[in-house]
Structures are given as C-alpha cells and as structure tokens.
Chain A
Amino acid sequence: MHELNWGLPVILYLFLGGMGAGAGAVSASIFLRSGGGDLAGSNFRFARWGALLAPVLVILGTGMIVLELGSFQTGHYFRFINLFRTINLSPMSIGSWVLALFILVSLAYAYTFLRPDAAPGDALQTLRKKLAWAMVPLGLAVALYTGVLLGAMPARPFWNSPILAMLFMVSALSTGVAAILLVRALFAHRGIISPDNFERHSYMLSSSDMLLIGLEVVVIFLFLMFGHLTVGNVKTAMSVILGGEMSALFWFGFVLLGLVLPGLIEMKYVLPTLLYQRPFAIPRRMEVAICVLVLVGGFMLRYVVVIAGQMTGPVGI
C-alpha cells in the first residue's frame, strides 16, 4: 500500500509530543525523587528545565496534527472540538482527552517554575508537588497512547504489535531526557548551582539515558524478531525494514545514529563513574552531540514507523 495519509505533521507530532511528554514525566519524577526539591542536593533547577520544555513541545506537536485534519484543511478550523464532545474506546478519543489533560497540567506545572526566583519551599511548592504527581502518569500515558493508537489496526500489520507502544514510550523518555540535557548544556549556567551538582545532574541524565537506550535496543529487538519469525502479513510488512525500501533509513538513521552511537558515547563517559566511582566529567560538546544524535534517532524512528506502516498492508485479496 502506497497511500500516505499521515505525513510529516503526524510524524512531527509523534516526535515532539513524545519528547515533551517524556521531558515532563522525567522532570516531575526527578523533582519528586528529591523530596520535592527541598532535600539536600536539590534537583530543583534541573527539574525546571523539563517542566518548561514539556508544554512547549507538546503544544507544538499538537498544533502539527491539527494541520493534518481533513476538516482543518477544508476550512472547518474548529471542527476538531468534536473530539471533546464525546468519549469512546477509540485510542484516539482517549488519547485526545489524555493529551488535553496533559497540556493543562503541564502548563500549570510549568507556571509553578516560571518565576526566575522560583525555589523549593516557596508559595507554589505544595501545588508544584501535587502537579508533579499528576505529571508522571500523564506523561507516560501521552507517550504510550500514540503507540496504542497505531497498534490498534489489523489492517496495518507493521504497526499491529503490542510492543510498539512500549517502543514509543521508551523512545519518548529517552528523547525527553535528551531534550533536558540539551537545553541544559546549551543554556544553563554552572554558577547558579554548584559545579559539583551540575556534573552530578549531568551524570544522572546521561546514565539514565544510557539505560533507556539499552532498554530501547531490547524492545526494538523484540519488535523485529517477532515480526521476522512469523509468516504472512506481519512478516511481509517487517521486510520493508529488513532488506526492503526503508532498511537504510532504519538501520543507519535510527539504529546506528540514534541508538548505538549515542549509547556508546554515553558508555564511555558513564561507565567509569558507574563501575569505578571516578568523578564524572563530560565535555559540553560531547553532551550536545549525544543529545542531537538521540533526537535525530527519535525522529527517524517515528518517520520510519509511520511511513513503513502505511507502505504495507494485508497481502492477498
């Protein structure tokens, strides 16, 4: 099947939405891990980056999918409101509600961090903590539902896999961490928090990203293996990336550039600290390079999955 009904706007939404949801969930969990940021070695400044990123990325992505709506393209700009006049068991219906809720909560969560003098224990702290508790499940739900949405259709054998949602969620968390790491590496001032803490946070992010990349490798392996070991529609669909038209993009663009390379670079810097407790030190340039690679990989994954899913369909008639 070569009818691309979902194009770049959807791919960008899956990428940006996933990244924003991941950044939001990671920020909130980091924030909550340090007891709401008021314990020693506060992660407050560092949770702030994710909190500010999340709504921007998700709103940008959501704006993209609105552009892809047939109703919007024919001038019925507000017909998408119909999504919120009902709720049913369609993954898109539930997803829209979850997405809308995430946007509202993430905006409120970002607002609690917005003032330059926002600090642990200020007037908004209680609200901030409550919102953070909501941000973790909502972020994971937004990251997951896109995979469920694509996976719900037997007519799309490439997508019709329960592990696709898992893949999207892990990738969302990984790109979310990379997004926080990137803006931090580019814009953060080491002086605001102590250089020690700055490096500690770098280590925390890099090591968790390394873990997520490892997990992503396992999930992508399972995705491919089960597709390859079956017969019929799924196997035919999977052959698009196993030797077919999209193989180069998948293996070089996603697996090599987006997983293996950043994973190896992270290992080089993280393992000495992880295994031998050496002080963690990573050049900013390297940090930026890792993030860019992870983000490129995240985009490539969405691109390959969305296109390959539409190129393939049931075989036979």
Chain B
Amino acid sequence: MSEHTPKASRREFLLKVAGGSAAVATATALPGVVTSADRPKRYAMVIDTRRCVGCQACSVACKTENEVPLGETRSWVEFIEKGNFPNVRRSFLPRLCNQCEKPQCVAVCPTGATYKRSQDGIVVVDADVCIGCKYCVQACPYGMRFINPVTGAADKCDFCLHRVEQGLVPACVNTCQGRARIFGDLNDPASEVSRLLSSNATSVLRPEMGTEPMVYYIDADHTDARDAARQSIYIRIETNRRQKERV
C-alpha cells in the first residue's frame, strides 16, 4: 500500500486502505510481492478446462457480439488430441487475450492507441488512434491481435468491455454451456475467480514471456508437438484460429 499518490486526499486514502486490505488479507501478503491492489478492479478469467466440451459456443458468441470480421478471430478453442490407444486424452484449450499485467503490445505501441485501463486492467485498443503499424501484432506472444480489415486498426479481445461496463459478463462467459469460463474481479476475495484461484492449481500460457497473464487455466494441457515427440506419443492439435495452426 505504499503506492498511493501524494495528491490523494485522506478520505480517498482511507477508502483505498479499506478496499485493499481485504484483498491483501487473502493474498497472504509476501514481502516484495506486488499486488497492484490500488487498481479499483482487476478483472481476470479462470478457464476450467475440465468443464470445457469444445462446443465452440464461446467462439461463435464472440464473433457475433463483437462483429469480428469474416476470417478473423478474437477467441477460439483449441483441440488437443494425444496419446497412443488405448491411453488417450482429448482436451480443449479456450483462447482469448490474456489481458496481461505486463502487456508487451502496450509497451511497443507508438501512438498510445493501446493501453491497459487503470481502473480495471483491461487492455484496450482505441481504433481511432491506431495507425495499424502491426507492431503489437508482432509483440504479442499469444497471437491474439490482428488488423481489423474494416477499421484498419489493431483488434483483439477486450473482455467485452462494453458489456462489463454495464455489469454484465463477457459474451463468451455468458454463453458457456459447461461453465468452463469464469469471469470476475480479483480484488474481490468473494468472487468466484478469487475462490477458484485460491483452491486450485492453475497455470498461465507461456509464463516465460514475462507478461503475467490474467487468464488462468485449471488443468490445461500444455503439451505441444515437441513434448509429444519427446514422449513418443501421437498428438494432433486443431485450432479454429484465423490461421489454422497454433501460434
């Protein structure tokens, strides 16, 4: 709680302490661990892959809700099929923008068109400012960004900001049949995402990129073709991302 600005009034400060202390209490505050609890909300998604059946309802809902142009995708599901009969497994990996705590796309944006919202941590693109230089498309380790052929600006998942601002959950979460996608505020210790994160082993995608994703997976299968080759098992990864291969 050392990051309050000198300008903040005592009243604001007290409010912050009151709001933040709850989060700090549950986060077992370790020395040196930054909890960025001074952000009013910290939206995150937990994806419980055990509950995903690969129905693609989220992919479809996302396309409809956000009018994602034909041939582009903001969110999709990857199918991972592996093993040698009879020891086999098929699992699903829903993908969307990770709304990283350290977004590389934001770090490289030359115009400031893409930024991480200070109020809730959602990474957004201002299509009226973006010049479409594609630097962020290169910088994203998850291949989440694309140039929208209609606006000419970079585009990506924004947790359905227009819905979230109205108190609704993102379209993909709303439509999820198996309730595999769970959305909520990490600053609220009672939220379902906070509870799931506390009581489950979770992982994020490509943690070595240092981006600190805010999309967490329960029981995600991180196997790729290299792992499968090393383990001498069969693997087939299918994705309905715009390019029919995982990036």
Contacts and interface: CB of A to CB of B under 8 A. Distances in A.
Contact of A74 (B137, B141, B149, B209): B149
Given A70-B130, A75-B152, A153-B104, 5 more contacts: A1-B143, A5-B134, A71-B131, A71-B132, A89-B107
A310 B138 contact: yes
A65 to B, nearest CB: 8
Interface stretch (A19-27, A90-98, A164-172): A90-98
Given A2-B243, A79-B131, A316-B226, A155 B110 contact: no
A50 interface: no
A48 to B, nearest CB: 34
B205 A2 contact: no
Contact of A154 (B109, B141, B222, B245): B141
Contacts of A73: 132, 152
Contacts of A93: 110-111
Contacts of A80: 131
Interface of A: 1-3, 5-6, 68-76, 79-80, 82-83, 85-86, 88-93, 95-96, 149, 152-156, 233, 310, 313-317
Nearest to A97: B110
A313 B141 CA distance: 8
A314 B141 contact: yes
B178 interface: no
B141 A68 contact: no
Interface in B114-158: 129-135, 137-141, 143, 147-154
Nearest to B247: A1
Contacts of A5: 134, 137-138, 147
B152 A74 contact: yes
Given A74-B149, A154-B141, A317-B222, A69 B110 contact: no
A173 to B, nearest CB: 25
Contacts of B141: 154-155, 313-314
B208 interface: yes
Contacts of B133: 68-70, 92
CB-CB nearest 3 A-B residue pairs:
A70-B132, A74-B152, A155-B141
Of the candidates B141, B226, B246, the one having the most CB atoms from chain A within 10 angstroms of its own CB is B141
Contacts of B209: 154-155, 314
Interface residues of B, number: 43
A92 B152 contact: no
Nearest to B134: A5
Contacts, number: 120
B206 interface: yes
Contacts of B104: 153-155
Given A154-B141, A316-B206, A71 B153 contact: yes
Contacts of A79: 131-132, 152
Interface string B207-247: 01110000000000010101100000000000000010111
Contact of B210 (A68, A69, A154): A154
- A interface secondary structure, majority: loop
A70 B131 contact: yes
Contacts of B152: 69-76, 79
B135 A92 contact: yes
A172 to B, nearest CB: 20
A96 B133 CA distance: 12
A3 B243 contact: yes
B131 A69 contact: yes
B93 interface: yes
A317 B206 contact: yes
Of the candidates A85, A89, A95, A154, the one having the most CB atoms from chain B within 10 angstroms of its own CB is A154
A74 B111 contact: no
B196 interface: no
A83 B110 contact: yes
A153 B102 CA distance: 13
B139 A155 contact: yes
Contacts of B154: 70
Contacts of B147: 5, 70
Contact of A82 (B131, B151, B224): B131
28 contacts: A2-B243, A5-B147, A68-B134, A69-B131, A69-B133, A70-B132, A70-B134, A70-B152, A72-B132, A74-B149, A74-B151, A76-B152, A82-B129, A82-B130, A83-B111, A86-B112, A90-B107, A90-B108, A90-B109, A92-B108, A92-B135, A149-B135, A155-B138, A155-B140, A315-B226, A316-B226, A317-B206, A317-B246
Of the candidates B134, B140, B210, the one having the most CB atoms from chain A within 10 angstroms of its own CB is B134
Contacts of B135: 90, 92, 149
B108 A316 contact: no
B132 A86 contact: no
Contacts of A70: 130-134, 147-148, 152-154
B113 interface: yes
B107 A314 contact: no
Contact of A69 (B132, B137, B206, B227): B132
A96 B139 CA distance: 18
Contact of B112 (A88, A154, A315): A88
Of the candidates A73, A75, A88, the one having the most CB atoms from chain B within 10 angstroms of its own CB is A88
